[in-house]
A = this chain, B = another copy of it.
Amino acid sequence: MNFLEERIVKDGVIKAGNVLKVDSFLNHQMDIELIDRMGAEFKRRFAGKPVNKILTIEASGIGIACLVARHFGVPVVFAKKSQSINIDGDVYTAEVESFTHGNRNTVLVSKKYLNPEDHILIIDDFLANGCALQGLISIIKQAGAEVEGIGIAVEKGFQSGGKIIRNLGYQLESLAIVEGMDAEAGTIQFRPQDE
Show the binding face of A for B, using Cβ within 8 Å: 19, 21, 23-25, 28-33, 35-36, 58-60, 62-67, 69-70, 73-78, 80-82, 84-87, 100-102, 109-110, 112-113
Contacts and interface: CB of A to CB of B under 8 A. Distances in A.
A23 B100 contact: no
Contacts of A112: 24, 29
A76 B36 CA distance: 13
Contact of A28 (B60, B66, B87): B87
A86 B75 CA distance: 29
Given A62-B63, A63-B63, A84-B101, A76 B32 contact: yes
A65 B67 CA distance: 10
Contact of A30 (B31, B75, B100, B101): B75
Given A59-B58, A59-B62, A84 B100 contact: yes
B76 A63 contact: yes
A27 to B, nearest CB: 8
A29 B85 contact: no
Nearest to A58: B59
Contacts of A65: 63
Nearest to A71: B32
- The 5 lowest CB-CB distance pairs between A and B, nearest first, are A58-B59, A63-B66, A59-B59, A29-B113, A30-B76
